[in-house]
Amino acid sequence: MTYKEALEYIHGLYWRGKKNGLEKTKELLELCGHPENGLRFVHIAGTNGKGSCAAMLASVCQSAGLKTGLYTSPYIVRYNERILVNGEEIPDGRLAALTEYLAEFVEKMEVPPSEFEFGTVLAFLYFQEQQCDIVILETGLGGTFDSTNVIQNPLLCIITTLGLDHTKQLGNTITEIAQAKAGIIKRGAPVVFYGETKEGEAVIRSRCEELSVPLVLPDFKEIVPERIGTPAMPGEQGKEENCQQFSYKQWQHITLALCGLYQQKNAALVLEAAELLRTKGLGISSEAMRKGLRTVHWQARLEVLRNNPLLLVDGSHNPQGMRATVESLRQYFPERKLQFIFGVMADKEPEALAELFLPLAKKVYVTAPAVPRAMKAEELLALCERLVPEPGRTEFVLCPTVESALAASAEEAPDEVIAAVGSLYLAGEIKKAATR
């Protein structure tokens, strides 16, 4: 297979053989010799923040000299982003070769795997081939029936924030969602949980007690913010003044390269996790923890794509995520109205998302990502005009495509700040268009 043929094959699996459960992943792993055996995993689930936590912990492990695999979803620009070793994407040639190899086993299956199930097994093959010392493994959806949950003996489990997202699949209450996420907890693997939801904590604590595993909750009251930094282009992000800084418990004056005040809580979660990994015999020094957080990069989380005018891209696609984004924007740009590029999936509470950011908006480029699930731009415009808190004080511009919205925003004055929000699909299209 060529790389293009491999991607067509992988994406073509999406519509075939969808079924809730782990049976197909287990069957494919059995057919290809269980590449997951022998790998050491940290398993991460949660509603928001799991990708950021995964990226931070992977950066810490890599800084400690461990060959580190990182499996995340969804991708923003290229499929290869989902499978990294020491921060490098799986090469096109290896992706194609492993797809061709796995496709032969798929033909032996009565019901083929889904795209995500196939990708998970492919990632395990690549991590085994690369002889990774540790793999940071992010769930795709939920936990119990997520295809990543085929692993047997993780070193550690992390559960990040819990919120009402994917309710059709996971349930309509925090308790139900926590039960789905708690499905990754295994006997012998300590759990680090974000907390801050009583119902969720009751579920996670009960599961940990049932399996006799330690539960650690960060004490966010111990976070002492010291500098919020300034959002900057990736090449400038390593500069001390552009990073945020905070102290947490014994970790004093930690520099964090990611924007967003909410990332300080995620970083506290990662510090607690790294401390537990030390007790498992992994040689993660305090300096490795510091370096990992100081050098981490993660796409589409208040990521700067352009200066003059400043363009920030954030994949916040549920109310919990949007609330955190808006709070950070208020901190970075106090007492200031901003411009937004807004596009959203029709099934992702567009009303709630719009209500959260519109009080900050003086101008909104309303658009629609080029995917079937996206809300039509005309419908989204009508919704925004209905919800805007001060009619007549916010200008709306209808843009038929994301690329046209990006082009129009580039004509704004150099001192303007523009935030693209509402969907990871929107973030992906903007990043593609911005790099052409």
What's the confidence (pLDDT) of residue 434?
84
The overall pTM is greater than 0.85: yes
Mean pLDDT of the region 340-366: 96
411 contacts: CB under 8 Å, gap ≥ 6: none
More confident residue, 369 or 172: 369
Residue 23: pLDDT band with limits 50, 70, 90: very high
What's the confidence (pLDDT) of residue 435?
77
Sign of CA pseudo-dihedral 230, 318, 11, 374:
negative
Q: Give residue 93's Cα distance to chain centre.
A: 26
Of the listed ranges 13-17, 177-181, 411-415, the least confidently predicted one is: 13-17
What's the confidence (pLDDT) of residue 21?
83
- Residue 314 is given by DSSP the state -
More confident residue, 389 or 99: 99
Q: Is 260's pLDDT higher than 70? A: yes
Mean pLDDT of the region 118-145: 96
What's the confidence (pLDDT) of residue 22?
94
More confident residue, 341 or 16: 341
Mean pLDDT of the region 100-114: 95
Q: Is 377's pLDDT higher than 60? A: yes
What is the C-alpha to C-alpha distance for residues 100 and 104, in angstroms, rounded to an integer? Answer: 7
Radius of gyration of the chain (CA): 21
pLDDT > 70: percent of the chain: 95
State pLDDT tens for residues 266-311: 999 999 999 999 999 999 999 999 999 999 999 999 999 998 999 9
Residue 20: pLDDT band with limits 50, 70, 90: low
Phi, psi of 133 (to 5 degrees): -75, -30
The residue with tokens 């992988």 is 10
Q: Is 16's pLDDT higher than 70? A: no
Letter string b/e over residues 385-411, b meaning 16 or more CB atoms within 10 A of that residue's CB: eebbeeeeebebbebebbbbbbeebee
What's the confidence (pLDDT) of residue 296?
95
What's the confidence (pLDDT) of residue 141?
85
What is the C-alpha to C-alpha distance for residues 282 and 58, in angstroms, rounded to an integer? Answer: 13
More confident residue, 168 or 296: 296
Q: Is 237's pLDDT higher than 60? A: no
Q: Is 170's pLDDT higher than 70? A: no
Q: Is 337's pLDDT higher than 60? A: yes
What's the confidence (pLDDT) of residue 232?
74
> Is residue 57 within a helix (H) or strand (E), and if so which, with residue range?
helix 50-63
What's the confidence (pLDDT) of residue 289?
98
Q: Is 208's pLDDT higher than 80? A: yes
- Mean residue pLDDT of the chain comes to 93
Residue 234: pLDDT band with limits 50, 70, 90: low
Two tokens, residue 351: 């009303």
Mean pLDDT of the region 411-421: 96
Mean pLDDT of the region 92-109: 97
Of the listed ranges 190-204, 224-238, 348-362, 368-382, the least confidently predicted one is: 224-238
52 contacts: CB under 8 Å, gap ≥ 6: 258, 263, 266, 298, 301
What's the confidence (pLDDT) of residue 391?
87
What is the C-alpha to C-alpha distance for residues 91 and 7, in angstroms, rounded to an integer? Answer: 13
